[in-house]
Structure 1
Amino acid sequence: MKEAFAEYLASRDLKPGTVHDYKRHMVESFPDWQDRRLTEITRDMVERKHAKLGERSEARANGAMRVLRAILNFAAGKYENANGQPIILDIPTKRLSATRRWYRVERRQTLIRPAQLPAWWSAVDALESETIRDYLRVLILTGLRRGECARLEWKDIDLEGRTLTAPDTKNRSPHTLPLSTYLVELFRRRSKSSEGSRFVFPVGPRRANKDEDGHLNDARHSMAAVAEASGVSFTPHDLRRTFITIAESLDIPAYALKRLLNHKSGADVTGGYLVIDTERLRDPMQRITDYILKAAGVVPSAEIVTLRAESA
């Protein structure tokens, strides 16, 4: 299995985050199957493994079986016996579909609500790492995915043009966003203290949560500290949901919302004809930032006027 998995990864152009997740499944879900022949894996084994994994996490159990299915499908097309016949004639994961054993996992609907933003923002401010503080702020103010944000390089930030470009995205289309005034100042400050790294969010050589290229890769410990201090449990994708939910509440047009998230138009013929220039998103981005900063108590929600008592 481990050999087929290595060849599968080598044959596919997968996103770094996908590769990381697949490898994690191999380590956590299939440690006892690494040296097993693929032809020894039966439908009963798959069903039992899926049920066992599901006791801990139904979503992870489904994910593990999708990885196994991908490896088995690859092997069925790749490997043959001496007679030229496929060594795998049956894909054992079909048992899960035939018996309807796949877990029904609902899409997460969690996000940070406006009333929770003051406590969350204050807890982020209290973090020791300036890099992680800014990373979390950029996530909630741009709606970027965690990997897109973590891999940003300084060549992707145009402070003169006030734009940000995530070149390596989930749908493989570069994603350019205008920067709000708050983000422009944040990146200017970071550019003066990035320690010569090409990454916007680097980590020191002694930190364990870095990947081989030196950019931030795992902020779970800091996020847990924020959740404990604020009482607001969240994931990086919750910050993306918070961003777009606030955007929708501000009556930003639907096509602009798709462009802000870098979503494809799919079967939407009209959307396929629309070309929304980055500058058209500058006002929406500023409005979203302003709303979040006001809700978090970072800036006043209204002008404060001092009232003077009239003399008798």
Structure 2
Amino acid sequence: MTDRWLRSISVEEGRAEFADAVVRGLRLRVSPRSKKWSVVTRIEKKQKRIPIGDAGKVGLLDARKAANEILDQATDLTADAIAAKALGQDGDASLKRLCEDYVARMKARGQPSYSEYERALARSDYSFCRFMSEKLGRAAKAAEVTPRHVSEWLRLVYDRAPSHARHCRAYLHAAFEWALEAEFDYTSSGQSVYRLSANPVSATPAGAKSTARNRVLSHKELQTLWRLLPEAAEPRTVVCIRLIMAMGGIRITEVCRSEWSWYDKNWLTLPKTKNAREHALPLTQYAVEQFRLAKALAAPETKYLFPHQTDRNQSLLVTSIGKVARRLIEDFDLEPFQMRDLRRSFKTHLLDGEYVEEREIDIWHNHGQNSDVARKHYTFAEYKALKIRVAGQIDGFLKIIGV
């Protein structure tokens, strides 16, 4: 890092983080609207991020000096005391810090959904942190959040995307619940950090649970969807959705979060699925073609087959897939549908057309594997021939409907 580099560095979207090569642990987070210094270190056997300040007010030399002081104190003070001193708030942490701490915990635990939480809580233009800052005219403290604030924000989310409001409430509730547990953990020697006394999200209703959908896209609708995708999404997203279809409607997350290492010799091996088990599938011929296109569009230095457009350390967001469906509905007057309807649609058509038996498509979709002892202990080799047959049947179905 140099002063000249610091003045020139910028990002158009998302957020990037840079590590200083001079002072161990010094980090610079850059977003379209801000540049923030922080120190990442291990305190009390846990990784902690301690804010230093805005790069517009704290220069490189001062940031390095502050970072060295914090690192020197790390052996003598508790994590909470250091954070309180760095913030200058006597331990009263900001709302943004609470949200970022929770997201960092999710990321450290390898939970792939952390990016959705980060966008909803702290990063996007419609995030809760942004809402609270505009509401109060300054950065909000975690303890200042009230149920009315939560309700007003969720109303705005609901007006934009009704189905997303329930998810946003769950994200915010989980973050405050975690902070409360940390606040009142009597086994910890740390001091109070967030100054919370209750979870402000608990007072808001969770809303009605989504009912089971029965939407099945017709042959013609599947053909139209495949054809119109390039009109509604950028090339990598088009290939991702077509790969989902080419694989007979496997789960969206299994494709958009997949890594290059999961693909080998025309097989896709999912190391951990929804039922916490490894699942291997042969690529259909249609899927092989989409995989070749993904290679042609490959982004450098990323482990993901479909990386995020601006942050190569993240995969394509599931919410990005949902936006494509809404765009197609609005621009081409299609009957309302969701991308997750693809899974049901393929299973229905493959069964109704007698392409496969129910047991075969259940194995392909990784369903019903725990119904008896034989299935519970199935192996890759046991179902290899069956899966290859299903792959061929999916190819046949796609060809019949005119894809």
Q: TM-score, normalised by structure 2?
A: 0.57
How much identity, in percent, do the aligned residues show? 20
Residue ranges of structure 1 left out of the alignment (5+ in a row): 299-312
Residue 244 of structure 1, aligned match among 324, 329, 347: 347
Q: 1:85-112 CA distances to partner (integer Å, 9 max, x unpaired)? A: 8944432333235xxx624433444443
Tell me which moved more, 118-127 or 132-141.
118-127
Give the superposition deviation at 1:140: 0.5
Q: 1:147-191 CA distances to partner (integer Å, 9 max, x unpaired)? A: 4323444443333xx42223464555333112233434554x548
CA distance in 1, matches of 2:396, 2:315: 28
Please state if 1:211 is matched with 2:311.
Answer: yes
- The 8 Å contact of residues 271 and 279 in structure 2, kept in 1 or not, is answered as yes
Give the superposition deviation at 1:63: 1.5
Counterpart residue identity of residue 93, structure 1 = V
* Aligned counterpart, 1:113: 218
Taking a change above 3 Å as real, the CA distance of residues 15 and 223 of structure 1, as seen in their structure-2 partners, is: same
Please state if 1:288 is matched with 2:397.
Answer: no
CA distance in 2, matches of 1:155, 1:23: 26
Taking a change above 3 Å as real, the CA distance of residues 232 and 285 of structure 1, as seen in their structure-2 partners, is: farther
* Aligned counterpart, 1:40: 144
* Aligned counterpart, 2:5: none
Taking a change above 3 Å as real, the CA distance of residues 68 and 127 of structure 1, as seen in their structure-2 partners, is: closer
Question: If each structure's strand is expressed as a fraction of its own residues, which one has the higher value?
Answer: 2
Higher relative contact order (CA 8 A, sep 6+): 1
- The 8 Å contact of residues 271 and 277 in structure 2, kept in 1 or not, is answered as yes
1:218-237 alignment runs, 5 A limit: 218=320, 228=331, 231=334, 234-237=337-340
Residue ranges of structure 2 left out of the alignment (5+ in a row): 1-94, 134-138
Tell me which moved more, 190-199 or 88-97.
190-199
CA distance in 2, matches of 1:94, 1:47: 11
Tell me which moved more, 64-73 or 27-36.
27-36
- The 8 Å contact of residues 217 and 342 in structure 2, kept in 1 or not, is answered as yes
* Aligned counterpart, 1:70: 174
Tell me the secondary structure at the aligned position of residue 68 of structure 1: helix
Counterpart residue identity of residue 286, structure 1 = G
1:47-58 alignment runs, 5 A limit: 47-58=151-162
Taking a change above 3 Å as real, the CA distance of residues 46 and 233 of structure 1, as seen in their structure-2 partners, is: closer
- The 8 Å contact of residues 178 and 279 in structure 1, kept in 2 or not, is answered as no
CA distance in 1, matches of 2:316, 2:103: 23
- The 8 Å contact of residues 15 and 170 in structure 1, kept in 2 or not, is answered as no
Give the superposition deviation at 1:139: 1.0
* Aligned counterpart, 1:8: 102
- The 8 Å contact of residues 53 and 61 in structure 1, kept in 2 or not, is answered as yes
Taking a change above 3 Å as real, the CA distance of residues 73 and 269 of structure 1, as seen in their structure-2 partners, is: farther
Tell me which moved more, 49-58 or 278-287.
49-58
Q: Count matched residues.
A: 285
Give the superposition deviation at 1:118: 3.2
Tell me the secondary structure at the aligned position of residue 165 of structure 1: strand
Counterpart residue identity of residue 42, structure 1 = T
Tell me the secondary structure at the aligned position of residue 33 of structure 1: helix
Tell me which moved more, 234-243 or 216-225.
216-225
CA distance in 1, matches of 2:349, 2:362: 14
Q: TM-score, normalised by structure 1?
A: 0.70
Cα RMSD (Å) of the superposition? Answer: 4.0
